[in-house]
């Protein structure tokens, strides 16, 4: 058996989950994670490395020196900046789309035009660079044009779901006229407000074939009952029953496969993960957004249910052989992840609070802990280092049991000001799921 070395780019819970799953592979010898984290480094076979990922010649040389077989890029920013183009041109294999492919997330104006061209189901919209024209449209559109989005990447922000036309017009002023999100808001997308349940459907792809992952749901608001401000995600669960199996099959064909075919028709070979953020409306699933990468925190729950060897799936994508591979998932278990965030999150975050209970939780049966914002403190302690601190993930035979176990485990992790949601998967339960 040949053993390979892998480099994972990123430092969050998503990358921790990818490293954790990769470490199971008998084909993987060393996993490097740049920049990684204290928690990620505790995973078997994993070392965190301090690399300048923007110095492409040096990064490519490092990959060659370390005999890196494939680079897996976690976050969207390096993808949008073209890390895959740069490394590929220097002979380093990458799992992730090129700069052109990453536009599907990084340029919402482009993405909406693309979706319309290839008839992907999505909210009606119009793009603007002029505030007066945008406001006139909001006031006269034949549908509730209440969602205002900065077209570019704005670190997960940059989307305003307005309660009324006045608020939507205010968002136009903030994003276009006052440049609240800088260049990312030079163009805005004004979109029809959709109602329904949000579901994340991610797929592996080699640019031809798509292999769809089971549906998951993120919880974006800070508070129980989906209240309070939006965050990077306070928890997730999988599988999510808020999309029917017929709708799910349809999403595979009319969203994910169609998108990959459309990208190919545009001359873009899209390799990596394509993530469809969907609204399951009364009229069926509609695309709210595409992401050009794994989701966080969806990846943490997904990786705990992936039965196939992640390294082999990644290789099939980069080698263009996904069609010949059966990617398998544990369909008997449900997985629930609860994020524990630091005091003040999402407006601010607290660094340096000593975290207790982590080793106790890590030893609980069925529980896995993924680190996001954790650093080494004095005397070997672990301390908070950012907004989202850890995610505790529980697998169980039912969604109820997994949610109860994850919530119980979250209560054991403690530090001053720790906050977590106690209702992950509540939308599934309110629709009768057990």
Determine, following the binding rule CB under 6 A, whether residue 159 of this chain makes contact with ligand AMP.
yes
Please state, in angstroms and rounded to a whole number, the distance separating the CA atoms of residues 240 and 428.
7
Q: Which residues pair with 73 in a beta bridge?
A: 9
Per rule CB under 6 A, is residue 191 in the interface with ligand AMP?
yes
Nearest to 419 by CA among 384, 378, 375, 393: 384
CA-to-CA separations, 361 to 44, 392, 394, in angstroms, rounded? 18, 8, 10
User: Nearest distance from residue 182's CB to ligand AMP, in Å?
Assistant: 17
Could you say which of ligand AMP, ligand GLY, none residue 233 binds, taking C-beta under 5 to 8 angstroms by partner kind?
Answer: ligand GLY
Is 298 a binder of ligand GLY (CB under 6 A)? yes
The count of other CB atoms within 10 Å of the CB of residue 229 is 11
Binding residue for ligand AMP, selected from 53, 73, 242, 288, defined by CB under 6 A = 288
Using CB under 6 A as the binding rule, the residues of this chain from 112 to 131 that contact ligand AMP are 123
Interface pick for ligand GLY out of 85, 86, 206, 218 (rule CB under 6 A): 218
- Of 51 and 202, nearer to ligand GLY (C-beta) is 202
Residue with the closest Cβ to ligand GLY?
Answer: 295
Quote the least distance from Cβ 335 to ligand GLY, whole Å.
15
CA angle 361, 74, 36 (to 5 degrees): 55
277 touching ligand AMP, by CB under 6 A? yes
Q: In this structure, which long-range contacts are made by residues 75-79, counting pairs with CB atoms below 8 Å and at least 24 apart in sequence?
A: 75/9, 75/10, 75/12, 75/293, 76/102, 76/105, 76/106, 76/153, 76/291, 76/292, 76/293, 77/153, 78/9, 78/53, 78/54, 79/105, 79/106, 79/272, 79/292, 79/293
Site for ligand GLY in 142-181 (CB under 6 A): 156
The item of ligand GLY, ligand AMP, none sharing an interface with residue 161, based on CB under 5 to 8 Å by kind, is: ligand AMP
Give the binding range for ligand AMP (CB under 6 A) out of 189-197, 259-267, 323-331, 412-420.
189-197
What is the three-class DSSP state of 6? strand
Task: Kindly tell me which residue out of 150, 194, 271, 274 binds ligand AMP, with binding defined by CB under 6 A.
Answer: 194
Contact residues: ligand AMP, CB under 6 A: 123, 147, 149, 159, 161, 191-194, 198, 220, 277, 288-289
């Amino acid at each position: 058996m040949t053993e390979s070395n892998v480099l994972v780019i990123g430092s969050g819970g998503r990358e921790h989950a990818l490293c954790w799953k990769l470490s199971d592979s008998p084909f993987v010898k060393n996993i490097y994670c740049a920049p990684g984290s204290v928690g990620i480094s505790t995973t078997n076979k994993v070392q965190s490395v301090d690399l300048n990922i923007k110095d492409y010649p040096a990064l490519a040389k490092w990959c060659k020196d370390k005999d890196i077989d494939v680079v897996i890029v976690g976050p969207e920013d390096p993808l949008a900046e073209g890390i895959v183009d740069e490394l590929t041109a220097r002979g380093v294999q990458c799992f992730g789309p090129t700069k052109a492919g990453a536009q599907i997330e990084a340029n919402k104006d482009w993405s909406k035009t693309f979706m319309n061209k290839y008839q992907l189901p999505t909210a009606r919209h119009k793009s603007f660079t002029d505030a007066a024209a945008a406001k006139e449209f909001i006031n006269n559109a034949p549908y509730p044009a209440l969602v205002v989005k900065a077209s570019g990447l704005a670190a997960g922000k940059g989307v305003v779901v307005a309660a009324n036309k006045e608020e939507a017009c205010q968002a136009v002023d903030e994003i276009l006229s006052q440049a609240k999100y800088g260049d990312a808001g030079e163009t805005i997308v004004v979109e029809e407000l959709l109602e329904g349940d949000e579901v994340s459907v991610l797929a592996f792809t080699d640019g031809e074939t798509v292999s769809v992952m089971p549906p998951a749901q993120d919880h974006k608001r800070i508070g129980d009952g989906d209240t309070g401000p939006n965050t990077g995600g306070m928890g997730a669960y999988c599988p999510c029953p808020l999309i029917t199996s017929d709708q799910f099959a349809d999403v595979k064909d009319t969203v994910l496969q169609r998108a990959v075919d459309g990208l190919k028709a545009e001359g873009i070979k899209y390799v990596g993960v394509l993530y469809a953020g969907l609204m399951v409306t009364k009229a069926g699933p509609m695309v709210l957004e595409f992401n050009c990468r794994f989701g966080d925190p969806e990846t943490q729950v997904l990786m705990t249910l992936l039965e196939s060897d992640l390294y082999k799936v990644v290789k099939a994508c980069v080698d263009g052989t996904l069609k010949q591979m059966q990617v398998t998932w544990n369909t008997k278990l449900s997985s629930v992840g609860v994020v524990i965030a630091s005091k003040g999150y999402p407006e601010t975050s607290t660094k340096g609070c000593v975290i207790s209970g982590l080793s106790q939780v890590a030893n609980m049966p069925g529980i896995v802990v993924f680190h996001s914002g954790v650093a080494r403190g004095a005397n070997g302690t672990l301390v908070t280092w950012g907004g989202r601190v850890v995610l505790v993930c529980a697998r169980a035979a039912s969604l109820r049991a997994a949610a109860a176990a994850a919530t119980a485990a979250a209560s054991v992790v403690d530090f001053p000001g720790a906050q977590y949601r106690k209702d992950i998967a509540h939308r599934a339960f309110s629709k009768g799921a057990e």
